[in-house]
Chains A and B, each alone.
Chain A
Amino acid sequence: MQGLNRRFEVIVVGAGPAGLSAAYILAKKGFHVVLLERGRGVGSKQVFGGRVYSSLLERVFGSLGDAPIHRWVRRERLSIINGERMLTVEYISGGKYSFTTYLGQLASWMAGKAVEAGAIIVDEVRVDRILVEDNSVVGVESGGDTLKADVVVDAEGANRLLLEELGLVEKPRPSDMALGVKEVIKLGEEKIDERFGLRSGEGAAWILAGSVSAYTPGGGFIYTNKDSVSIGVVVSLESGGLVEEPYRLVESMRLNPLLKDIWREGDIIEYSAHLVPERSVRLIPSKLALNNFLVVGDAAGLLLNTGYTIRGVDYAAYSGYLAANAIVEAEEKYGSYSEEVLRRLYEERLKRSMVFRDIARHKAVEMIWENPTMIKQYAALLLDTLGGLYELGESTPSLRETFKNARRKNKVSLIRVMADLVHGVMKA
């Protein structure tokens, strides 16, 4: 076939933020790179929550001037919901750190940059296998066709069929992964500004815990896009199945009496679902490179879920960037893409980066957030305390008294509270 006469130096599998960043940097450095994506067009299979941190992205792509930024996040909200009561903490941020968008749009924007730089993107092609000969990766296979290259970058995302087939990782245990389900509700720009208290162009990011996700590990999220709101829940997979069907969870969040008026008159324009690596530390492969082969993004387990924020997109982009730079350097300095060279130039640098250290550091916070009894108890404790302070009859109890009563009611000892707090803070 004529198409195959063209020789590629690099094949990238998967046009998510990780693969696109790698392809962009490689193309910019003059590499012949082809990116294979199973979806129709770029972004048609992408789902995320709603917010992207900009600084690493700027490191990869330079200016984000023409990026599809919906709103810069100004209001950060954290709520605990327990039945009819809700406690919300709001932080108004002073700068531009993160923005909301649709991941598909952001990926298309990245694809535009990559193509402009000379990358070839081939969509509607599912890669079935990473080809290995004599202990080295030599290319990929799709529908019986093979395509060879000097290096292959695996950016297939959280669902690692190729890495499993290759034997680099095992099929994850359900509890290592979470399932995110999401609804996008079209509401109109002005209504969003009004109902979230935003000025034009400003956005809100809102994480919810407690009864919104039926106290299952995980929680709810709300992000404001330009003229729509993304709402959803992320719940850990449990081997016995979820307590409640995911679509019921997201629908009860939409109809939660404390929230539903926010999107009154809105229209659901999309319903989506995707896996999230939950216990990143357990999901990171033992090696991030083999001979002629690199793993980036969610496929490498590089995602940080602290419970109050998810960072995956910028980490994915950054790992793609590091991988691309490693390939460039390996070729220039060593003329070799051996496992040893790639692990030194990519894996070691990645592990020394903030991205990686943060992922390792945050595992304790993940644990508090994931522990359903803890969430339930603390939600009740907090809300009973506040209820005691604000829902007044004849007497006006002190903070100390209400806290004590709330502890008794919820059968939490002061020692337990202290121990958990110290534990959480120390590990964080």
Chain B
Amino acid sequence: MTSIGDKPLRVDDLLQRNVWDVDHRPHITVDTEKCRLCEAKPCITTCPAGCYILAGNKVVFSYEGCLECGACRLICPYNAVKWSYPLSGKGVQYRFS
């Protein structure tokens, strides 16, 4: 067995445990212009996949590690998130959940 150790894993290491078939088309797009107006930026601490990160005070979004939970769609106060599910069965492929 691979030892998982005594330190918290980074989110990327957690995501690596999963099977993915990532589409070349993003299923979520974020209008980051709107994020400039947003003080709270709740997406950063809410997304379980760390898809929203803060670079300086800009929100940077990447869809590749998305777990398709839908939390960001609800939490965004500025409706900046255009949200849908991936097509063709792509995206995360859960096996043991």
Chain A residues packing against B (C-beta within 8 Å): 38-41, 43-48, 102-104, 123-124, 126, 128, 143, 158-159, 161, 171-174, 177, 179, 181-186, 225, 228, 230, 237-248, 251-252, 254-255, 260, 265-275
Contacts of B67 in A (CB 8 A): 271-274
Contacts of B70 in A (CB 8 A): 158-159, 275
B28 at the interface (CB under 8 A from A): no
Within 8 Å by CB of B74, from A48, A237, A254, A265, lies A237
Bound Cα distance A123, B69 (Å)? 19
Bound Cα distance A48, B96 (Å)? 10
Min CB distance, B37 to chain A, in Å? 16
- Please name the 5 residue pairs, one residue from A and one from B, whose CB atoms are nearest each other, closest first: A241-B42, A40-B89, A124-B89, A273-B48, A251-B8
Bound Cα distance A270, B20 (Å)? 11
Residues A266 and B1 in contact, CB atoms below 8 Å apart: yes
Can you name the residue of chain A whose Cβ is closest to the Cβ of B8? A251
Bound Cα distance A83, B3 (Å)? 26
B9 at the interface (CB under 8 A from A): yes
CB within 8 Å of A: which B52-94 residues: 67-71, 73-75, 77, 83-94
Contacts of B47 in A (CB 8 A): 245-246
Can you name the residue of chain B whose Cβ is closest to the Cβ of A172? B74
Min CB distance, B73 to chain A, in Å? 8
Q: A241-B41, A271-B14, A275-B71 are in contact. Are A40 and B93 (CB under 8 A)?
A: yes
Bound Cα distance A44, B4 (Å)? 25
Residues A267 and B2 in contact, CB atoms below 8 Å apart: yes
Contacts of A40 in B (CB 8 A): 21, 89-90, 93
Bound Cα distance A37, B16 (Å)? 25
Instruction: Given A45-B92, A184-B96, output 19 extra A-B contacts at Cβ < 8 Å.
Output: A41-B89, A123-B89, A124-B88, A159-B69, A171-B73, A177-B74, A237-B71, A240-B42, A242-B46, A247-B48, A247-B50, A248-B8, A255-B7, A260-B6, A270-B17, A272-B18, A272-B94, A273-B71, A274-B67
B45 at the interface (CB under 8 A from A): yes
Q: A174-B75, A179-B71, A242-B46 are in contact. Are A143 and B87 (CB under 8 A)?
A: yes
Residues B17 and A269 in contact, CB atoms below 8 Å apart: yes
Within 8 Å by CB of B46, from A48, A128, A237, lies A237
Contacts of B2 in A (CB 8 A): 267
Residues B44 and A241 in contact, CB atoms below 8 Å apart: yes
Chain B residues packing against A (C-beta within 8 Å): 1-4, 6-9, 11, 14-15, 17-18, 21, 40-50, 67-71, 73-75, 77, 83-97
Min CB distance, A298 to chain B, in Å? 12
Contacts of B40 in A (CB 8 A): 240-241
Residues B6 and A241 in contact, CB atoms below 8 Å apart: no
Min CB distance, B1 to chain A, in Å? 5
Residues B48 and A47 in contact, CB atoms below 8 Å apart: no
Residues B94 and A46 in contact, CB atoms below 8 Å apart: yes
Residues B1 and A265 in contact, CB atoms below 8 Å apart: yes
Q: Would you give 26 A-B contacts (Cβ < 8 Å), ordered by A?
A: A38-B86, A46-B97, A47-B97, A102-B97, A104-B95, A126-B85, A161-B83, A174-B75, A179-B71, A225-B96, A228-B96, A240-B40, A245-B46, A246-B47, A248-B8, A251-B8, A254-B4, A266-B1, A269-B95, A269-B96, A271-B14, A272-B94, A273-B69, A273-B71, A275-B69, A275-B74
Min CB distance, B9 to chain A, in Å? 6
Residues B45 and A270 in contact, CB atoms below 8 Å apart: no
Contacts of B87 in A (CB 8 A): 126, 143
Contacts of B4 in A (CB 8 A): 185, 254, 266-268
Bound Cα distance A38, B85 (Å)? 8
Min CB distance, B69 to chain A, in Å? 4
Within 8 Å by CB of A45, from B9, B45, B94, lies B94
Contacts of B9 in A (CB 8 A): 247, 251, 268
Contacts of B92 in A (CB 8 A): 45, 272
Residues A241 and B45 in contact, CB atoms below 8 Å apart: yes
Contacts of B91 in A (CB 8 A): 45
Bound Cα distance A46, B92 (Å)? 10
